[in-house]
Amino acid sequence: MQLTIPDVDQPLVAIISGGTQGLGEAVARKLLADGAAGLLLAGRSPERGHALADELSGLGTPTVFTAADMIDTSAPQMLVDACVERFGTVTGVVNIAAATSRANLFADTVEHFDRMMAVNVRAPYFLIQAAARVMVEQGTGGSIVSVGSTSGYGGQPKLAAYSISKGALSVMTKNLAFALMQHNIRVNQVNPGWMETESEHRTQIEHDHAPENWLELAAPTRPLGRLVQPWEAANAIAYCLSPVSGLMTGNIIDIDQSVQGAGDPPLPGPEDTIQP
């Protein structure tokens, strides 16, 4: 049997929410290396966003930055409109922007919970809606990848609302993959585990009160002796976006150092005990 590679002539014009640093920047650089036809980076830092967009444009992939806070209900449509205005189309979406603040059940508030759902669930849902409308109207098809978390399988007590939001994102991925299949629009999800990024460093210091050398202490506790690197998740995201991934849709891909459901189930430790 002769194996064939899918047609890769369809240009990739992608929106990356949360695309100016960490995993978003790694994805943008990977798509540049893969020959993307155009990128729109969305984020809250104009300084970082414009600098990265200028650099990627200079390296060969036309890239623009659009300032956006994904809690804003107008942001999803605004990003798609900006992408179509600049590039004439949108054929890929990467949902990375997320809120990650901590709160257990007894410490949570309505305001915090609503923010988690707004940024982590509502925003990607309506960004997919706006982009999919363009893909259907233009008949291009497309590929969408949302970034979830292994915490979406249950998560830690201190990440209650965050974990719930990422669980909802997984259901969204499967529901929309099924709904959009006949339009040749694929929807997949990549779940990074504990990943080494600038934002994770700030979270460890500011929210978990970890020492400055937390990474040096954390790495030996991981099976492979290090945390997940952004490039590893970026490679999986780029693969899902590419026609080379074929008919893959509705998949949840874990980039982690554990196997869900295997081994003894974890037992709560002292740090997991919460009090009203």
Q: Write out pLDDT tens, residues 138-169.
A: 999 999 999 999 999 999 999 999 999 999 99
What's the whole-number average pLDDT of the chain?
A: 94
**In contact, 149 and 203? CB cutoff 8 Å:** no
Decide: helix, strand or coil at residue 189.
strand
pLDDT at 181: 98
**In contact, 169 and 152? CB cutoff 8 Å:** yes
Tell me, yes or no, whether 41 lies in a domain.
Answer: yes
pLDDT at 187 over 80: yes
pLDDT at 9: 66
Catalytic residue among 125, 153, 162, 239: 162
Out of 64-68, 98-102, 254-258, the most confident range is 64-68
pLDDT at 105 over 60: yes
pLDDT at 199: 87
pLDDT at 266: 83
Q: What is the CATH number of the domain that holds 180?
A: 3.40.50.720
CA nearest neighbour of 146 among 233, 245, 64:
233
Amino acid at 8: V
Tell me, yes or no, whether 35 lies in a domain.
Answer: yes
Tell me, yes or no, whether 2 lies in a domain.
Answer: no
**In contact, 13 and 82? CB cutoff 8 Å:** no
| Beta-ladder partners of 92 | 14, 143
pLDDT at 6 over 90: no
Tokens 């499967």 identify what position? 174
Tell me, yes or no, whether 5 lies in a domain.
Answer: no
Render the burial of 56-80: b for 16+ CB within 10 Å, e for the rest: beeeebebbbbebebeeeebbebbb
pLDDT at 8: 53
pLDDT at 4: 47
Average pLDDT score over residue span 21-47: 97
pLDDT tens digits, 219-247? 999 999 999 999 999 999 999 999 999 99
What gap in Å lies between CA 38 and CA 55, rounded to an integer?
13
Tell me, yes or no, whether 248 lies in a domain.
Answer: yes
Confidence of residue 12 (pLDDT cuts 50, 70, 90): very high
State the residue range of the domain holding 163: 13-193+228-254
pLDDT at 256: 94
Tell me, yes or no, whether 3 lies in a domain.
Answer: no
Average pLDDT score over residue span 33-61: 98
pLDDT at 10: 79
Average pLDDT score over residue span 116-135: 98
Instruction: Tell me how many domains the chain contains.
Output: 1
Average pLDDT score over residue span 165-193: 98
pLDDT at 2 over 70: no
Average pLDDT score over residue span 111-132: 98
118-121 long-range contacts, CB within 8 A, separation 24+:
118/70, 118/71, 119/70, 119/71, 120/162, 120/165, 120/166, 120/168, 120/169, 121/165, 121/168, 121/169, 121/172
What gap in Å lies between CA 40 and CA 57, rounded to an integer?
11
Tell me, yes or no, whether 38 lies in a domain.
Answer: yes
Confidence of residue 267 (pLDDT cuts 50, 70, 90): confident
Tell me, yes or no, whether 117 lies in a domain.
Answer: yes
What gap in Å lies between CA 30 and CA 238, rounded to an integer?
7
Sign of CA dihedral 44, 59, 241, 131: positive
More confident residue, 63 or 273: 63
More confident residue, 8 or 222: 222
162 catalytic, yes or no? yes
pLDDT at 132 over 80: yes
